[in-house]
Every structure is written in C-alpha cells, then in structure tokens.
Amino acid sequence: MENFKWQVGEQLGLFKVYGINDREVVMGEDDKHLNFRVSMFLNEKPGDPAKKQLTISTVVQFNNWFGKLYFLPVRPFHKIIVPVMLKGIIKQLTLKNGRG
C-alpha cells in the first residue's frame, strides 16, 4: 500500500481511514448505533508472488438495539452496497495517485 496517499483520520469517500500499513488499509465509520469497518488487505497470490490478491472484509459492531434494527434491512443489500462504495474509493485512489 505504498502508493496510498491518505493518512489516518482523513476521509476517503464515505469512510474515515482508521489504519494503514504496508499491506492493509482499514476504513469505517462510527456512530452511536453501530460501528462499521472495512479492511482492504493486499497479499501475494499463492504460487505467484508477482501477482497480488486483494481481500476485502467487513465488520459491523452494534452499539444498541437501534443499530441492529437499522442494519436489518441493510444486511440483504450489503453484498451489493459494499462493492459499489469500494469502486468509488478505488476511483478516488486512482485520481489522487495521478492515474486517472
């Protein structure tokens, strides 16, 4: 992630950057009802170290019953929403890195 131009605490799309290291960027958002994190982990592809593999993971922590209630209708669309948001983030990354 050496080309990642954001710093911890900055906004990237809808998400705040919470952590960065040489292989992973952790972004998310906190509110009083729930906390959300998305991890983008870049690793060498097994059997071919020249190729990279991106693993995306999400975690939701509920802070109260309203967070669970809020997430209930979101859950079925989660697999659609997250990739759409990440495509926007990738576009932002490309533009900020001067590749767009």
- List, in order, residues 6 or more apart from 55 with CB less than 8 Å away: 39, 40, 41, 43
**20, 44, 88 from 50: Cα distances, Å:** 22, 7, 26
More confident residue, 97 or 65: 65
Of residues 17 and 86, more confidence is placed in: 17
- Average predicted confidence (pLDDT) for the chain: 84
33-37, 39-43, 74-78: which has the minimum mean pLDDT?
74-78
- Give 30's pLDDT tier (boundaries 50, 70, 90): very high
Q: Identify which has the larger pLDDT, 85 or 94.
A: 85
Rg of the chain on CA atoms, in Å? 15
Per-residue model confidence (pLDDT) at position 34: 96
Taking residues 55-77, what's their average pLDDT?
91
Between 14 and 9, where is the model more confident? 9
pTM of the predicted model, to two decimals?
0.73
Tokens 């693993």, residue located = 55
| pLDDT at residue number 79 | 77
**Angstrom distance (rounded) from CA 55 to CA 6:** 19
